[in-house]
Structure 1
């Protein structure tokens, strides 16, 4: 197969996957469809095992690896912690609960290595997946590399109904209390956009328009990404790899954004995110060439078992703490299971369920203001931050 056909076929697979994702409103995600199509291509012999190498997508993949951690860091606002400190405590409790059950019960049943590879990916984030997949490949464990892809491909199928159930439970509770004047203007009554906003314009945002173009944002993301790699050489050596490039990149991106030295979501501003995500997801699928039907069946039990254990640990611990802090079970469920379907999918699921619950425009707005901001914050904290930092730490253990 030539470069031209390899590249065309892989773009075609990704396009079909995005269309199915759109038609099913995210219920059958891009990751799942591309996983299945690539697997069928390899098993049928239609695709050569090195189709990804022939397509020469590794160059784009390297660009994403250089810039993505800074990009993720810029999307995080430390003020979110202060605004919803109770939710932060609940989510941390949930993550600790998940970790406890995964590494005790899951470790005893499925083995420690499977749990180490899977735990950060069960918390969500394609960046965490990328880190753990790379670590598994570098460790020579192609089965584990395929396993983490399988986790990510099936997460949304489980996360969407769990988040939807939580939103409906909380929505019914809030509508039942709508007449209570004490709830009006209470905590959480802010539009979801305020959780993603920056407040006053930063230094970078005040640049003259003639100096602001996509290449500026790509340049800054690349420069700071290179700086993060340089810093991580020293922090990694001093901490035994615990504070590696993932942690440094996230923290550096966050600090630089607060200082106004980089825009929020610079890769989006450069217009490259869809193409780079395509490259990343497709390059990671190359490990499926070595995945046999037998190995897939062998990993189905650990996959589903760890999903159940993760969900039980996350929700159980979060529920115990959340009830003490005044949160109800529906809201807790909707927030903590953002690990299985992160932003913007969780945002979309929440809005769809709210639309179905009431025809009254005022009630819909009320539910949106009470529910959606917490879900967005839960996604940012679990998926965008915690999973990536933990992946950076756990990747050194494979």
Structure 2
């Protein structure tokens, strides 16, 4: 197959996934559509190396992972997260609920490695799924390598409708309070708010014209390389995934003013990096046979169900302690199943369906959107990568 034909085909699959997701308002996840199409392709006419033929060998994907995770670290603002401390505790409690449910009940039903592979993708997104998939593949666990990707692709089916239901109940409760004059509009900052004017403290004297895309990539690559070096230096003492250190070094790099926040987006590289990473994830499905998919189906359903139940119980308890409604606490926990931008889209759709009054929408948005965004950021961006980096060592 010609390289450009392979590229056209695989990118077309990603586009179809996006198209279906947009048309169904994210009720059918794009990753699910893409996973199904890739499976059908591999079972019919796709060559097994179609992703590599399209120009994305493992080395390129690995480079993008380093850049993307380091970029994730730059999103963290300690001041903004401090304002949402209750949300952080609820998000962590929900994750703990997943871990406890799967390591207790799940471990009685499935073997230890199945549970181990299931947790990080269930807690997070594409990066944690890829870490566990690669780790399982390296350990010779082909079925579990596919399982990590499939659970990532399917978990949204549980997360989207449940989130919509509980946010609808929460929105109605808050709306009733607002109409009685018992609810004020909050001016809480979120992760997407205006950034500090001076981000590059270490380069404050550098004229802006020299801060080119290449210079942004150069600094991002340096930070990623330092994370890799640190991982290799620590190897004789303790095994820490370089991906986890990329996240930490990204936070440090942005805090000291070496990196801008969202530096990959500002270097105009985020879109291509995500495209490469998504294609590499679906490349893992090339070893999946119909019989393997049937073998995965039962643990897939059970693991997602146990995870959701664990999230609900633990978020309910911590919500009671912190004085947060069970609906809002559960919604925050559920963001672990999809993250951004689905958390933003679902919250706004629920708010828009509840009222057409702009002031009422503003009041609901101020109370519901910041916790949802922060919850998704904590679980998907931070904790899932840390868990994956830790758990992959036990495969």
On whether the aligned pair clears a TM of 0.5, the verdict is yes
Structure 2: runs of 5 or more not aligned: none
**Partner residue of 1:7?**
7
Q: Matched residues in 1 for 2:98 and 2:274: separation? A: 28
**Partner residue of 1:343?**
340
Q: How far apart are residue 372 of structure 1 and its match?
A: 0.3
**Partner residue of 1:20?**
20
**Partner residue of 1:85?**
85
**Partner residue of 2:380?**
383
| 2:114–2:144 contact (8 Å) kept in structure 1 | yes
Structure 2 counterpart SS, 1:178: helix
Q: How far apart are residue 39 of structure 1 and its match?
A: 0.4
Which residue of 294, 301, 317 maps to 1:297? 294
| 2:315–2:326 contact (8 Å) kept in structure 1 | no
Q: Matched residues in 1 for 2:124 and 2:153: separation? A: 11
Aligned ranges 1:251-270 → 2 under 5 Å: 251-270=248-267
Q: How far apart are residue 79 of structure 1 and its match?
A: 2.2
Q: Matched residues in 2 for 1:291 and 1:178: separation? A: 52
Q: How far apart are residue 157 of structure 1 and its match?
A: 2.0
**Partner residue of 1:209?**
208
Q: Matched residues in 2 for 1:330 and 1:395: separation? A: 33
**Partner residue of 2:223?**
224
Q: How far apart are residue 82 of structure 1 and its match?
A: 2.1
Per-residue CA deviation, residues 342-377 of structure 1 (Å, 9 max, x unaligned), is: 111111110011000011111110000011001111
Aligned ranges 1:144-293 → 2 under 5 Å: 144-179=144-179, 181=181, 183-184=183-184, 189-190=186-187, 193=190, 196-203=193-200, 206=204, 207-239=206-238, 241=239, 243-293=240-290
Question: Which stretch of structure 1 is more off in the superposition, 384-393 or 171-180?
Answer: 171-180
Per-residue CA deviation, residues 323-352 of structure 1 (Å, 9 max, x unaligned), is: 121000111121110011211111111001
Aligned ranges 1:124-139 → 2 under 5 Å: 124-139=124-139
Q: Matched residues in 2 for 1:297 and 1:196: separation? A: 45
Per-residue CA deviation, residues 258-312 of structure 1 (Å, 9 max, x unaligned), is: 1111011122112122222121121222222221111111111111101110011
| 1:338–1:346 contact (8 Å) kept in structure 2 | yes
Q: How far apart are residue 26 of structure 1 and its match?
A: 2.2
Aligned ranges 1:16-55 → 2 under 5 Å: 16-44=16-44, 46-55=45-54
Aligned length: 392
| 1:192–1:376 contact (8 Å) kept in structure 2 | no
Q: Matched residues in 2 for 1:235 and 1:195: separation? A: 35
Does 2:119 correspond to 1:119?
yes
Structure 1: runs of 5 or more not aligned: none
Q: Matched residues in 2 for 1:69 and 1:268: separation? A: 13
TM-score normalised per structure 2? 0.94
Q: How far apart are residue 222 of structure 1 and its match?
A: 1.0
Structure 2 counterpart SS, 1:238: coil
Q: Matched residues in 2 for 1:238 and 1:177: separation? A: 56
| 1:247–1:392 contact (8 Å) kept in structure 2 | yes
Which residue of 359, 364, 370 maps to 1:362? 359
| 1:142–1:287 contact (8 Å) kept in structure 2 | no
| 1:190–1:370 contact (8 Å) kept in structure 2 | no
After superposition, the CA RMSD in angstroms is 1.8
Per-residue CA deviation, residues 36-93 of structure 1 (Å, 9 max, x unaligned), is: 111001112x111222232230253132023122111001112244212222222222
Question: Which stretch of structure 1 is more off in the superposition, 364-373 or 80-89?
Answer: 80-89
Structure 1 counterpart SS, 2:47: coil
| 1:350–1:372 contact (8 Å) kept in structure 2 | yes
Q: Matched residues in 1 for 2:253 and 2:284: separation? A: 35
